[in-house]
């Protein structure tokens, strides 16, 4: 399968331009707008592996930097700025991948900012949100306050979570997902941490765990209407 990779500049209204990368296989079935986590940019190895893995499964991805990462600032953007970046990325994905099923979300902080944006005003043409490790709470401070906005989202959501994720105690996350009803799906990656890395004693590799994540994500996207 031939895969094209394009380096882009994404213009965010009243904020400026950030870098973006479109990874698109021939005859792609969907495009996933993939936002990075708080501590690493769109070129981090995890983001590269997700983009490459989804391309192998017939899915395009549009990765992009949040403004603070583009400007090499340490502190993440305010939510309003992050939401504006996500909206710009979704609009660009729709333009670059006409006719493809659109899904949005991302890694940790990027996924949570995407769900916040969706809860405030639906992202145009986005059919579902997929979270690669939803950051439910700070490390060692279990709570579910960060999930309160999810009740305002009407489209399907997929939560891909490692059972060792220190930012998402499943004892808190499972009731949240149950409260969301049929629109929310939880897939647990046994032994995975916040980035789905597994312990050696698990008997499988990190790449095998990530393959489980990507297989699940691709299958979920395919069943979206």
Residue with tokens 């439910």: 136
Q: How crowded is residue 206: how many other Cβ atoms within 10 Å of its Cβ? A: 18
The whole-angstrom separation of Cα 54 and Cα 112 is 21
Q: Which residues contact 148 (CB under 8 A, 6 or more apart)?
A: none
pLDDT for the residue 1? 79
pLDDT digit of tens for each residue in the chain (225 aa)? 799 999 999 999 999 999 999 999 999 999 999 999 999 999 999 999 999 999 999 999 999 999 999 999 989 999 999 999 999 999 999 999 999 999 999 999 999 999 999 999 999 999 999 999 999 999 999 999 999 999 999 999 999 999 999 999 999 999 999 999 999 999 999 999 999 999 999 999 999 999 999 999 999 999 998
Using the CB atoms, write b or e for 37-62: b if 16+ within 10 Å.
bbebbbebebbebbbbbbbebbbbbb
Half-sphere exposure of residue 6: CA atoms within 13 angstroms, side-chain side: 13
Domains present along the chain, CATH in parentheses: 3-223 (3.40.50.1820)
Does the model's pTM come out above 0.85? Answer: yes
Count of CB atoms situated within 10 Å of the CB of 187: 16
Distance of CA 124 to the CA centre of its chain: 17
């Amino acid at each position: 399968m031939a895969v094209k990779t394009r380096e882009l500049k994404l213009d965010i209204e009243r904020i400026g331009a950030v870098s973006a990368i479109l990874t698109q296989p021939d005859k792609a079935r969907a495009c996933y707008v993939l936002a990075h986590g708080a501590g690493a940019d769109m070129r981090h190895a995890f983001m590269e592996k997700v983009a490459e893995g989804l391309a192998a499964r017939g899915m395009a991805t549009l990765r992009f930097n949040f403004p603070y990462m583009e400007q090499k600032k340490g502190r993440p953007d305010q939510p309003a700025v992050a939401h504006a970046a996500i909206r710009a990325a979704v609009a660009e994905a729709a333009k670059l991948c006409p006719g493809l099923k659109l899904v949005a979300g991302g890694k940790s902080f990027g996924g949570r900012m995407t769900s916040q944006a969706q809860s405030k005003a639906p992202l145009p043409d986005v059919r579902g949100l997929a979270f690669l490790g939803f950051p439910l709470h700070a490390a060692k401070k279990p709570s579910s306050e960060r999930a309160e906005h999810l009740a305002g989202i009407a489209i399907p959501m997929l939560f891909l979570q490692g059972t060792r994720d220190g930012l998402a105690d499943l004892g808190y996350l499972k009731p949240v997902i149950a409260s969301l009803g049929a629109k929310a799906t939880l897939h647990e990656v046994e032994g995975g941490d916040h980035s789905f890395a597994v312990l050696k004693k698990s008997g499988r590799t990190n790449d095998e765990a990530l393959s489980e994540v990507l297989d699940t994500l691709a299958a979920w996207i395919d069943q979206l209407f």
